[in-house]
Structure 1
Amino acid sequence: MDYQVIKEGDLFILTDQNGDITANDENGHGLYTKDTRFLNRMEIFIDGEKPSRLSSTASKSYVASFRLIKEEKDKGAIEILRDRIIYDGVLYEKISFTNFFPSRASFDFSAAFDSDFQDMFIVRKYRTGEVGAIVGRKAGENFVSIQYQGADHVIRETAIIWDSKEAKIDSKGNIQLSIALEPQEMKSVYFYIVPSIDGQKGTVLSFDQAYRQLENSYEKWYQETTKAVTDSPVFNELYQRGSQDLRMLMVDVGYGETPVAGLPWFAVPFGRDSLITSLFMLPLNPGKVKGTLRTLAAYQGLKADTWRDEQPGKIMHEIRFGELVTTNQSPFSPYYGTVDSTPLFLVLMAEYYRWTGDLSLVEELRPNILKALAWIDDAIKQRGSDFLTYHQEAEKGFPNQGWKDSSNSVVHESGEYGVSPIALAEVQGYVYQAKKGLAPIFHLLGDEKKAAQLETEAETLKAAFENSFWMENEQYYGIALDRSQQLVKSVTSNPGHLLFSELPNAERQNQIAKRLLADDLFSGYGIRTMSTNAAGYYPMSYHNGSVWPHDNAMILLGLSRLGYKEESGTIISSLLEASKSFEYQRLPELFCGYGSNIGYAVPYPSTCSPQAWAAGTVCVLLQAMLGITPDALKKKITINPVLPKEINELTAEGLRIGSGAISVKIVRRNENDLNVDIIENTTGYAVICLAGNPAVLR
């Protein structure tokens, strides 16, 4: 990547590879919280010049380090090490200087800071609007601060604090310090940047104390989540990276922690992204998804509002907190223009119960569940269709409202774009899965009428779908129906999600599984979003030929649940191989759809990294290798494992299911024979093993 980014809570910093934020930079570098840029400049100088970079790293998701030098050729250098963390709403920067000249060296260090308080949408050139102004600047012995009053009358402030008593503010407003060091002597200067909104701000600790507490919070995360180790260093690194990134991407806006979509531009709760990521996180720890369900329930639509594409019962797409939103110049407060968040909310609720047996959360959110179901039914009736469709109502909203939300993602064989209202294939699968999954839960709650209604509606939808979406010549489903109920016949990855929904019958499941791994869809590094034979195919397209790890993970969930071991193993292997091509072995949001014959996965030109559902993909790899399917309704756990060719041994410890945990070890004895050892089972559920020896409890 050509940037470095770290995040903690809802504060994140995006800089260049030197660690600097340069004024008037076009890349949007800055320190952000609540969709506002609190620093638009942070640069350091030695004797008035920028030092040169030796290296930079954010190998730990929550720490950035930059090694710089100011050198005199063949004489020596001053080394500058910048260590950066964020904790409790404060940015900490430790700048250490070491003299590598053979004699005493003196130099002037200076640091320049500024704040423009621009709304995230303005920074990204996504929106313009009427905004506030800087209303004051203050300076003290060891601080400067900049105050801004927004058009929303909110006071936003950035305080820059330093620890050196010798540092002074020069005529340009920069912080200046003269330093003298003996050979190999080191000196450190500490800066603390504190954003505040109407006086609300974090507490400044010492750098070391903040670092310890940050490290402790990650250690607590690891203790509370599933441990997974294999004989493959590639998987082990990918799993550790994914778990660490998921921890970094969590945020609490008042209803419990939920994953934001991704950095740098989507560090806020989403509907679809947060729900799919949470779905993936169930094998990591199902308790970690409660915050997502509560957050989205709290922001559930209350009224009909075309400005925000809101309807009663609808689950939001995205929420923002910046000045343009708080002054109603942007509809993202929240914005509801998504067709799949509402059924996915219900799918996650049903899957959460399958993993935990926790009826209390179902009962707590029962009103929200009923409202979401009512929105789905009302939306179908209002369009006069058998299917859930979308159509943009908000003037500043999105024209395409499925997960492939780019303007060209629904394209006919002719190359023409589908015209809304559009019914997406995978969305009908989500609706089917939601109703099918919730029916037995309503039975447990004593609402037999609702349970029977959901079962009937699910089967009616299934029959209508099979009649309308199947492409006989392709032996595959089309991506969508358009406004005229015409089938959009492009071959895409979307129907692969139907396997997880278990909507297709057994014969068509086989045909989908086979088709997904055909050469035109499968790149060798994963399943492409669109067939290479389709009219809209382009390997560098955002949605029409690229490879998205989360898309593959959704497909993998279905293949695994339905017992397609060979296909599951192939996809797992492909994603493990692709991960080798990316920095820190971090799966990005997407990458280009070129074939694996070129020898490496080609990065997409602009992509979120780290990104939540890409990070969560590794949890699905673990779940698929274990072949684990909990069922709280029947008090059983099914294990039907598959190990890809790169892995011969897997141990997973502390998978939280039911009221306890299960630990499993899988060892390959020969090509087609896996031995399954149940090391621990305190779940209270029976274990049914469909491979190798019968499960043995030690």
Structure 2
Amino acid sequence: MNYTVIKEGGLFFLTDTNGDIAGDDQKGHGLYKNDTRYLSRMELFINGDKPTLLSSEANRSYYASIRLMKVSPDEGAIEMVRERYIYDGMLHEKVSLTNYFLNRTRFDFSVSFDADFQDMFIVRKYRTGEVGQVLGRKTSERGLSIQYKGKDDIVRETHIAWDAPESKADTEGNVHFTLDLETQETKHICFVIAPVQQEEPRPIMRTYEEGLRLLEASYDEFYRAAASVTTNVDVFDKLYQRGVQDLRMLMTDVGYGDMPVAGLPWFAVPFGRDSLITALFMLPLNPNSAKGTLRTLAAYQGTTNNVERDEQPGKIMHEIRFGELVNTKQSPFGPYYGSVDATPLFLVLIVEYVRWTGDLSLAEELLPNVIKALAWIDTMDETGNGFLTYHQEAAKGFPNQGWKDSANSIVHRTGEYAESPIALSEVQGYVYQAKNGLSPIMMKLGYPEFAIKLEGEAAKLKEKFEHAFWMEDESYYAVALDRKRNQVQSVTSNPGHLLMTGLPDKARADALVKRLTAPDMFNGYGIRTMSTDSTGYYPMSYHNGSVWPHDNGMILLGLSRLGYKKEAGKLLSSLLHASTFFEYQRLPELFCGNDAELGYPVPYPTTCSPQAWAAGTSIVFVQAMLGLVPDALSQTIVLDPYLPETFNELLAEHIRIGAGYLSVKVTRTANAEAPAVEIIENTTGYRLI
């Protein structure tokens, strides 16, 4: 990465690799809270010069360490180590300066701060708008504060404090420290930057050491509550640990419980689709992550018809922002609802959460939201063909509203873009899975007529779907139907999600799997978003030829559930190999679709890292290898493991199912098709199948 980023809760800090935010920065670096940049400059100097980068380490998602040096040729150097983290609403940074000259050295160490309080959309040049102004700057012996009043009449402040008394600060934001160090002597200066919005309480000031200890303790608590997984494959273990750590960093609570945000740096907010899929992936890790996700999205469920936000009653939001432009209605993202799949995925997550936990109380709590979501699905058949469709209404919204939301992602063989309303293949699968899965839940809750109705609707949808979407000449499903009910006959990864939903029958599932793993779709590192034989294919396209780990994760769930063990193992191994080429062995949001014959996966030019659903893919690997499918309603657990090549042992402990835990050890045997299974713990009370 050409940047350094850390996050905790509602704050994230993005800088260049030196750890600086340059005053003339054009890359959006800064300290952000509620989509507002509370720090737009933080540059460190020694005697007026910027030091040189030696190394940058961010192996811990929540902590960064940057080593710099100001060298005087043939005489020595001043080494500077910057260590930072975020905790309890504040950025903490410790700067350690060491004298490596032969003699005692006196020098000026300075930091230049500023805060422009710009809305993130303006910073990223996505929007323009009327904004407020900086009210003033104040200095004290060990502090500096900058205050701003927005067009939304909210007063925002950035408070900067440091612990070194021998300092001098001016109202331009420059802070100077005169240091006099013996040879090899080190001086530590700690900074605390606290962004505060009007009427918020001031954060509790803590020492650098105390804050770091509490932050690390919160990570330890997260790990203790999560499933633990180890194997004989070091590459996998590192990927899994990195994924779990990144997911912990990406958890945020906006008032309804912790939920995963989409990714860093620009999508550190609740999303519908992204957060739901990530929470779905996280169920084997800790199903509690689903509760905050569902409650947050239920709280923002659509209530009215609002063309500017693509909102309708019952619809689950796509994305929410909290900045000045949203507050003054200069941006539609407060929240924006332009997502066709978030609503059925909301229902799918409820279904899968109940299957993992047996927690019918949450389903009952969210029953009004479920009914509204189902009503929205049933009214969004804009072409009269019985399928859920989307159509952009908002002038500043998205023309395509499935997970492939770029403007060119739904394309006919002729090269023409499909006209909306559009019915996407995978979305119909989500609706089928939701209705089918909700039926037994409604029966348990005491609504038998509702349950029977949902089961019947699912069966009818399946029949209509098979007739409308199947392409005989391709032995594959069309990606979509356009406004004239014509098939959009591109071969894409979208229908691969149908395997997870259980919609295709055996023969068509076989054909689907065969094509997904054929060379035109499978590039050796994963399944492409579009076949190399389809019009519009381009390996560097965002959605028409690239490889997305989460997309592969959805397909992998289906392969595992339906018993396609070898294909699942092939896909898992390819993604695992791809991960070794990326920084910190972190699966990126996406990478290019070039063939593996190159010898390495080609990075996509711009990508979020870390990305929540990419991080969650490593957890899907575990579920796939275990062949694990719990059903708390029938009190059964399917356990049908398969170990891909190089895996000889898999130990998964403390997997929460129902009111208990499952721990299992899988070991390769001479018959690789049937590994040995040892149940170490099963306090669920459920029957293993």
3-state SS, counterpart of residue 377 of structure 1? helix
Quote how far apart the aligned CAs of 1:472 are.
Answer: 0.4
Determine if contact 2:314/2:375 at 8 Å carries over to the other structure: yes
Give deviations 1:82-118, integer Å, cap 9, x for gaps.
0001001100000001111122111110000000000
Of 215-224 and 101-110, the range deviating more from structure 2 = 101-110
Counterpart of 1:10?
10
Task: Give the TM-score taking structure 2 as reference length.
Answer: 0.99
Cα separation, 2, equivalents of 1:140 and 1:13: 25
Cα separation, 2, equivalents of 1:354 and 1:437: 9
AA aligned to 1:651 is: L
Cα separation, 1, equivalents of 2:383 and 2:330: 29
Quote how far apart the aligned CAs of 1:62 are.
Answer: 0.2
Determine if contact 2:301/2:317 at 8 Å carries over to the other structure: yes
Cα separation, 1, equivalents of 2:385 and 2:344: 17
Cα separation, 2, equivalents of 1:509 and 1:260: 32
- How many residues align structurally? 687
Cα separation, 1, equivalents of 2:406 and 2:322: 24
Counterpart of 1:357?
358
Cα separation, 2, equivalents of 1:355 and 1:631: 6
Cα separation, 2, equivalents of 1:125 and 1:542: 20
Give deviations 1:24-47, integer Å, cap 9, x for gaps.
211100000000000110000000
AA aligned to 1:248 is: M
3-state SS, counterpart of residue 261 of structure 1? coil
Determine if contact 2:642/2:674 at 8 Å carries over to the other structure: no
3-state SS, counterpart of residue 426 of structure 2? helix
3-state SS, counterpart of residue 192 of structure 1? strand
AA aligned to 2:180 is: A
Determine if contact 2:114/2:173 at 8 Å carries over to the other structure: no
Question: Which structure 2 residues correspond to residues 15-94 of structure 1 after superposition, within 5 A?
Answer: 15-94=15-94
Counterpart of 2:535?
535
Quote how far apart the aligned CAs of 1:74 are.
Answer: 2.4
3-state SS, counterpart of residue 218 of structure 2? helix
Cα separation, 2, equivalents of 1:131 and 1:549: 39
Quote how far apart the aligned CAs of 1:414 are.
Answer: 1.0
Give deviations 1:533-581, integer Å, cap 9, x for gaps.
1110000000000000000000000000000000000010011000001
Question: Which structure 2 residues correspond to residues 235-254 of structure 1 after superposition, within 5 A?
Answer: 235-254=236-255
Counterpart of 1:222?
223
Give deviations 1:597-634, integer Å, cap 9, x for gaps.
11111110000000000000011001001110001121
1:433 paired to 2:394: no
Cα separation, 2, equivalents of 1:20 and 1:659: 48
The runs of 4+ residues in structure 1 deviating greater than 6 Å are none
3-state SS, counterpart of residue 269 of structure 2? strand
Give deviations 1:325-369, integer Å, cap 9, x for gaps.
000011111111110000000000000000000011011111111
Counterpart of 2:631?
631
Quote how far apart the aligned CAs of 1:172 are.
Answer: 5.1
Structure 2's unaligned 5+ residue stretches are: none
Cα separation, 2, equivalents of 1:687 and 1:578: 34
Determine if contact 2:67/2:82 at 8 Å carries over to the other structure: yes
Cα separation, 2, equivalents of 1:580 and 1:508: 34
Give deviations 1:484-521, integer Å, cap 9, x for gaps.
11100000000000000010001001111111000000
3-state SS, counterpart of residue 147 of structure 2? strand
Give deviations 1:132-155, integer Å, cap 9, x for gaps.
011111111111111110000000
Quote how far apart the aligned CAs of 1:170 are.
Answer: 4.9
AA aligned to 2:403 is: W
AA aligned to 2:399 is: P
AA aligned to 1:51 is: P
Cα separation, 2, equivalents of 1:418 and 1:446: 43
Counterpart of 1:151?
151
Shift in CA distance, 271/172, structure 1 to aligned 2, threshold 3 Å:
closer
3-state SS, counterpart of residue 669 of structure 2? strand
Counterpart of 2:181?
181
Quote how far apart the aligned CAs of 1:383 are.
Answer: 3.9
Counterpart of 1:693?
none
Counting aligned pairs with the same residue, the percent is 64
Cα separation, 2, equivalents of 1:668 and 1:204: 53
1:274 paired to 2:263: no
Counterpart of 2:603?
603
Cα separation, 2, equivalents of 1:378 and 1:537: 34
Of 648-657 and 597-606, the range deviating more from structure 2 = 597-606
AA aligned to 1:673 is: A
AA aligned to 1:161 is: A
CA RMSD of aligned residues (A): 0.9
Counterpart of 1:696?
none
Task: Give the TM-score taking structure 1 as reference length.
Answer: 0.98
3-state SS, counterpart of residue 266 of structure 1? coil
3-state SS, counterpart of residue 407 of structure 1? coil
Quote how far apart the aligned CAs of 1:288 are.
Answer: 1.9
Question: Which structure 2 residues correspond to residues 284-363 of structure 1 after superposition, within 5 A?
Answer: 284-363=285-364
Cα separation, 2, equivalents of 1:287 and 1:86: 24
Cα separation, 1, equivalents of 2:194 and 2:162: 11
3-state SS, counterpart of residue 675 of structure 2? strand
Quote how far apart the aligned CAs of 1:685 are.
Answer: 0.4
Question: Which structure 2 residues correspond to residues 269-668 of structure 1 after superposition, within 5 A?
Answer: 269-380=270-381, 382-668=382-668
Quote how far apart the aligned CAs of 1:199 are.
Answer: 3.7
Determine if contact 2:523/2:594 at 8 Å carries over to the other structure: yes
Give deviations 1:298-320, integer Å, cap 9, x for gaps.
10011111111111110000000
